[in-house]
Amino acid sequence: MSAPETQRPHRRDTATGVSAPGPVRDARAPIDAAPVAGDGDDPDRAFAASAQSAAAIAAPTAGLTRVPRWPYAWAVWIPLSQFAVLGLWLAWDWRVGLAALLASHASILVPVFLPRARVYAPVLARLPTAAREVWLTIDDGPSDDTCAMLDLLDRHAAKATFFLVGARAQARPDLVREIVRRGHGIGNHSHTHPQAWFWALGPRRMRAEIEMAQTVLTGLAGRAPRWFRSVVGMTNPFVAAPLRTHGLTRVAWSARGFDAVRADPQGLVAAVERDLAPGAIVLLHEGARHGRNVAMIAALLARLDALGYRSVLPDADAPDVSADERAGPPGEGTAAPAAEARAAR
């Protein structure tokens, strides 16, 4: 069963390292008319085709990669800073030493809670583009909201990266595969989402959180995530080492609407729009207790369309999945879209 659409395969902008969908599909098409496997098609074969295409994607462009190069640099500068404090304390009076001690401890602790701080690990907070393009990132899934969000994204010809929690992905593997099948990206958002204590995790627990999620998501999605988002944006000294091991880039954001705690669609849109600019990385959530995440994303997508912004994916997230690959194996209703996709290339 074919869908009424005119969408073309992804095309990559070599100057910015991002990939965007082609022209918007017919607005008259219903939400459930997004490309799906034919009624008689085998969904496993459809997913395998998509995963095979995704596996051929190159790593992120050099301009976007933020894999830590010196994950243990903190083990040098933190002790040196304390020796400097001791020197000031001995060379001057205790008032100077105490002020230096407090300042040094603030420089160690405060960056842990700043999502865009680069003290303990490099971070990507904006896409390098002057075009009216944004990167939508959706945290905390998969959840009961995932399918409805995928339908909304399809209707607006938009793409997003879902930063998934490993344990939740294990419990709902079909949703992870559906995200990939529809051409969206997958990111690592820890294995258990320890919101209250992520900032204070030691090296062993931090590595386990990142590595377990990476293993689960790689197995389910058919490709290893390239992106990592810290829980609540917090990054302590022990995050960088596992990121380097797995070639992960830490991703922050430049626009957000606090949709994990507020349930006001128009408030979300207004908050995001204040910080909206070319290359913005927008932080969104799914599965919040208030139950309004789908309505809020619907309002935001409509506003982005009105403002002329496109939702794009970085290269590493953007599978070049053609219409025939997304619809599953060749069969009734797939020949015409396949020919159209080839002609578009």
**4, part of any domain:** no
Which pLDDT does position 29 carry in this prediction? 37
- Mark whether 97 and 133 lie in a shared domain: no
**13, part of any domain:** no
Residues 294-332 have pLDDT tens digits of: 999 999 999 999 999 999 998 756 554 433 334 443 333
- Mark whether 203 and 93 lie in a shared domain: no
Residues 228-276 have pLDDT tens digits of: 999 999 999 999 999 999 999 999 999 999 999 999 999 999 999 999 9
Which pLDDT does position 3 carry in this prediction? 41
Give the end of a domain, one of 56, 90, 113: 113
Please give the residue range of the domain that contains residue 290: 43-67+121-335
- Mark whether 187 and 289 lie in a shared domain: yes
- Mark whether 88 and 147 lie in a shared domain: no
- Mark whether 247 and 106 lie in a shared domain: no
C-alpha dist (Å) from residue 181 to 245, 285, 342: 27, 20, 19
Instruction: Give the domain CATH number at 217.
Output: 3.20.20.370
- Mark whether 144 and 203 lie in a shared domain: yes
Residues 46-62 have pLDDT tens digits of: 444 444 333 333 334 44
- Mark whether 79 and 100 lie in a shared domain: yes
**161, part of any domain:** yes
Query: How many helices (H) and strands (E) are present in the chain, helices listed first?
Result: 12, 11
Total residue count of the chain as it appears in this document: 345
Q: Annotate 194-243 with DSSP letters as a single string.
A: -TTTGGG--HHHHHHHHHHHHHHHHHHHSS---EE--GGG---TTSHHHH
Which pLDDT does position 33 carry in this prediction? 34
- Mark whether 176 and 319 lie in a shared domain: yes
Calculate the average pLDDT of the chain.
81
**287, part of any domain:** yes
- Mark whether 266 and 198 lie in a shared domain: yes
Asked if the model's pLDDT at residue 216 lies above 60, the reply is yes
What whole-number distance in Å separates Cα of residue 125 and Cα of residue 234? 14
Is the CB of residue 12 less than 8 Å from the CB of residue 315? yes
- Mark whether 243 and 275 lie in a shared domain: yes
- Mark whether 62 and 78 lie in a shared domain: no
What whole-number distance in Å separates Cα of residue 76 and Cα of residue 119? 13
Residue 257's SS3 state is: coil
Residue 269's SS3 state is: helix
- Mark whether 161 and 260 lie in a shared domain: yes
What whole-number distance in Å separates Cα of residue 218 and Cα of residue 86? 47
Tell me the catalytic residues: 139, 285
Average pLDDT over residues 86-97: 91
**89, part of any domain:** yes
**318, part of any domain:** yes
Return all residues near 258 (Cβ < 8 A) that are at least 6 apart: 268, 271
Question: For the chain, what is the domain count?
Answer: 2
**254, part of any domain:** yes
**3, part of any domain:** no
